[in-house]
Every structure is written in C-alpha cells, then in structure tokens.
Structure 1
Amino acid sequence: MAQAGPLWLADWPAPPGVQAFTTTRYGAGGSQPPFDSFNLGNRTAADGDDPAQVQRNRDELQQLADLPSAAHWLRQVHSSDVVRFDAPPQAQGLDAELTADAAVTSVPGVVLAILTADCLPVVFAARDGSEVAAAHAGWGGLARGMLENTLAAMHTPAEALVAWIGPAAGPALYEVGVDVREAFLAHSSAAEQHFVATRPGHWKVDLPGLARQRLVAAGMRPAAIHGGDLCTMADPQRWFSHRRDRRSGRIATLVWMAP
C-alpha cells in the first residue's frame, strides 16, 4: 500500500466510523536527532528528548489527525494489564497517564493510543463498530498474554472482532536468544514454527506470526487479522527502532470510534 506523510492508515476492513493509523517519524513534529522529528514518546526524555517538544508533537498530532478528543496515553511498562476508558482524559502530561499496556473503550470519541519502536502495536474493533482496543506487545508482553488479556477485557466476543497489526520488528531482522524462544514454547509447542535458527543459541523470530497464532487460539478468525508486514528495523526513513538505533523516539498507533 503506497502511503506518504506522517500518518500511515491501518489497512483493515474497519467498520464504518472506526479510524486507526500509525504515525511515521517524519513529516511533522520538531524533535531533534536522534528523535527526529515526530517523536511522540515522552518516556524517552531521560535519553535526551525535550518533554515540552514531545507535548508540542502530540498537540500537532491532535490537529493533524483531527482527533475528536485528546488521546489517552499510557505509562507502558511491558505488562499484560488492560484499562478501560469511558471518557476523554481530564488532564494532560505524564503524571496523568495510567500504567498499562492496552486500553479498551466502547465510547465514541474516546481516542486510544500506544507507543512503540519495534514492539507490536495491535488495534481491535468490533465488527458492528461498538468497541475498539489498542495493545502494546513486546515479546515479553506477548508471551505473558497481553493480547489474550485485551480480548478478555472487551465486551465483544473474539470471533466478532477484526484486528490490525502495525509496524514492528520483522522476522527477517529480529534476532533473539534462548530465553525468548523458551518463553513462547512453554506456552505452546506450536510457536516453534515462528523461530528460525541463525547461530548457536539464537533465532530470528516472527512476532506478528506469533501474535496471529495466539489471537486465533483465543477465538479470532484467521481472516479477521490483518497487517504485520511492516518492519520497523528495516526502514529508518519511516519508523523509529530501538533495536536498530538504541536511542530512539516512539511512533504512536491510535484508534477511535467517530462521535
């Protein structure tokens, strides 16, 4: 899909009124290298980005995307915790962010947002347009059931959902060690098909493939799961990547139902 600019639209059969996209790193914002330029992650402030500039970037995002309200940003800690939002945020800034790695809402106009720079961003929507969710899943969160917990927190049955997996570290470049492989095999031996041996004690891992496998096992229809083909590590012109650059900004994936 040919897209350009700071907003990469989710490529999925979303129901009418449901909107979702992932931001790119360029085309908006004012952050300086290595966070140039559309960094939306204020947790990177300790590494050198200016928190005030990040807030300006977020304000610009709200205007650029014509969001119906300010986004709910999370204090992400690679957990498997999910929160539900029933209204737009009442306060802005880091102190107002709830600690969780996924969010759900059934309220039109409430915008959910997650930050990534190699981890999986996954958005969900009820096929009848009544509910949406957004989840952040690195390999640890994915192994601990982040996506299954998100499905369990939704009122909509898994078989009545559609999902889109956004940009993440792809299977051609993402190499992991024994601990990662064992974490997934302990859950299901079927996970082995998503690991390809490289050198002793190391494998290339297909995180989107593992996500699909686990979502199907949790009740989603295979044909309802889209995306997973955009690699953050392979495209420095478009995406931030922590594994590639070490000091990196964050892209954001947002989803909401039109009011």
Structure 2
Amino acid sequence: MSGLIPHWPGLPDNVGVLSTTRLGGVSPAPYGDGAGGAGLNLGNHVGDQPENVAQNRVILCAGLPSEPVWLSQVHGTAVVNVATVAPQPAPEADASLSTTPGKVCLIMTADCLPVLFCDAEGKTVAAAHAGWRGLAAGVLQNTIQAMRDAGAGELAAWMGPAIGPDQFEVGEDVRLAFQQQGAPDAFKPIEGKPGKYLADIYALARYVLQKAGVQQVHGGEYCTVSDPGQFYSYRRDGVTGRQASLIWIK
C-alpha cells in the first residue's frame, strides 16, 4: 500500500497519522491506479466489487493498531466516539474522535476536504469530512467542541488532499453560504460564466478552524482533481474510488 505521511510539525510522538492514495490495492478500473493497474479503493458504496473493497481494507489494516470505525458519511455534522459507538451498521456521521489508544478514526474522500485533529498532549484525536455543505453547516466546529468536551487542550489540525482552488467550480449559493458566516472572500469569479466561481475550500476551512480557536493549521497543498496519479476524484471522473485519512493514539 502507498500512502502519504502528513507533514505536521509538532505532532505528538504517540499519535499516528496516514493519508492513503489510490495506489497499492486490488481494484480494477475505474477504481484502479489510473494507469492500468489496480487501486486501493476503500469505499464500499461506489460500485466496486465487495470482495475487492474487503481486500483493500485488509491491506490498509495491516499497518494499523485496529480496524477503523467506518462511517456512513452524509455531508452532515454528527460526531461519534470510536471507542463507544457500535461499528455495525456503520454509524451515520461525518466525524469521529478518540481518547483511547489503538482506536482508529477514519474518513473517506474523493474531493471533499479531510481534516485531522490532535491536541497538544496527544490525548484526543479526531477526523472530519468537510465538503462544502458540511463545512458551512459546522462539522469542524462540532468536532472541535466534541474534542473539548472530551478533555482536549490546545488543538492543531491538518488538512488532507481535496479539490484545489483552481478546480472547485461552485455557484452563487455556495458563495452566499459562507458570506453569511463572515468568511473571507475565497471565491474567484469565472470569466464568461456569470454566477460561477472558483472556491478555495482550504482557505474557507482555515478561516473556520482559526475562528474556532485552532491556530496551528497544516496541510492544504494537494489537489485531488489535478493529480490523477495519486488521488481519486469524483469531480474529475464521476465513477471512482475513495481514499482515506486516518489518525489514532498509539
């Protein structure tokens, strides 16, 4: 399996993090590696054969302390504790947290923004799925509050691979949703397309995080759409796989 180790200055030594790519699995096209080989699709809801997804998850779990809690993500704002929630059926939530060593938080994406969280002492970690709907509705704020309710201290965050600012075309509704929250103007009008904008989801998330008191925000350097050699992208391909971002206490 091929994966990215997030560049996260100051991450406590007792915290593990991983961001998977499309490489290193057994799934054929359109869930493959984009170059004729097999891919590490982790989504069991995208049309891939169940046995392929199961094998890809086995490959992933070989490097983890335990089976992650797989969420049923709905672009909402619910947060679950992976140590106390029943893993089956998959809990309907878009974020998870842990204060228990060995329990893995995981969220899947294919353009939406994954955000990983950790407190300064490595005692509380979390992972959140922040597409524009969830981001506007408060999924990051809910995750931060849940971590603080669990006893977290100063928080830091890492923004994983998502659709980049030169590819994320949105309409006026998305721009207004963030304008109403006082977000900075992270929308660039598209010439020749009235009412259409290129949105910077990284900038919007950074604003939300910092407003919620998370001053250490890392990552945000990838674009899933522009990098077919590494990432699945729903916006680019339509039918495609899912990569994952994970965090756990060792």
Shorter chain as normaliser: what TM range?
Answer: over 0.9
Counterparts in 2 of 1:170 and 1:39: CA distance versus 1, 3 Å = same
Task: Output the CA distance in 2 between the equivalents of 1:85 and 1:112.
Answer: 7
| Cα distance in 1 for residues equivalent to 2:165 and 2:151 | 30
The structure with the largest helix share of the pair is 1
2:60 corresponds to 1:38: no
Equivalent-residue separation in structure 2 for 1:187 and 1:206 (angstroms): 16
Superposed, 1:157-236 pairs within 5 Å as 160-188=154-182, 190-192=183-185, 194-198=186-190, 199-221=193-215, 224-236=216-228
Post-superposition Cα deviations, 1:158-179, rounded to whole Å, max 9, x if no partner, equal: 8701110000000011111111
Letter in 1 for 2:130: A
Equivalent residue number for residue 117 of structure 1:
110
Tell me the SS of whatever aligns to 1:191. coil
- Contact 1:158/1:219 (CA < 8 Å) preserved in 2? no
Length, aligned pairs only: 240
Report deviation, 1:186. 1.5
Question: Contact 1:159/1:219 (CA < 8 Å) preserved in 2?
Answer: no
Q: How far apart in 1 are the matches of 2:173 and 2:207?
A: 19
**SS state at 2:246 partner:** strand
Name the % identity. 45
* TM-aligned CA distance change 1:207 to 1:86, over 3 Å: same
Q: CA deviation at 1:90?
A: 6.9
- Residue by residue, what CA displacement relative to the aligned partner does 1:71-102 show, whole Å, maximum 9, x if unpaired? 11100010011111226x876xxx53100000
Whole-angstrom CA distance in 1 between matches of 2:71 and 2:108: 8
TM-score, scaled to structure 1: 0.89
1:10 counterpart residue number = 6
Residue 131 of structure 2 corresponds to residue 138 of structure 1: yes
Contact 2:120 2:153 in 1 (8 A): no
Maintained 8 Å contact 1:74/1:99: yes
Please, what TM-score do these two structures have when normalized by structure 2? 0.92
> Which among 66, 69, 74 is matched to residue 71 of structure 2?
74
The match for 1:101 is 94
SS at match of 2:45: helix
Whole-Å separation in 2 of the counterparts to 1:242 and 1:217: 29
Note the residue ranges of structure 1 that are not aligned, 5 or more in a row: none
Matched, 1:248 2:247: no
Question: Given the superposition, is the C-alpha separation of residues 133 and 204 from structure 1 closer, same or farther in structure 2, using an over 3 Å criterion?
Answer: same
Q: Structure 1: how far apart are the matches of 2:45 and 2:212?
A: 32
- Tell me if the contact between 1:10 and 1:164 (Cα under 8 Å) persists in the aligned partners: yes
**1:149 counterpart = 2:142:** yes
1:49 partner SS: coil
Q: Is the 8 A contact 1:159 1:220 kept in 2?
A: no
1:41 deviation in Å?
0.7
Structure 1 segments (4+ residues) deviating >3 Å:
156-159
Partner Cα distance (1:185, 1:34) in 2: 37
Separation in 2, partners of 1:99, 1:62: 21
CA shift in 2, pair 1:118/1:215, >3 Å? same
Amino acid at match of 2:187: F
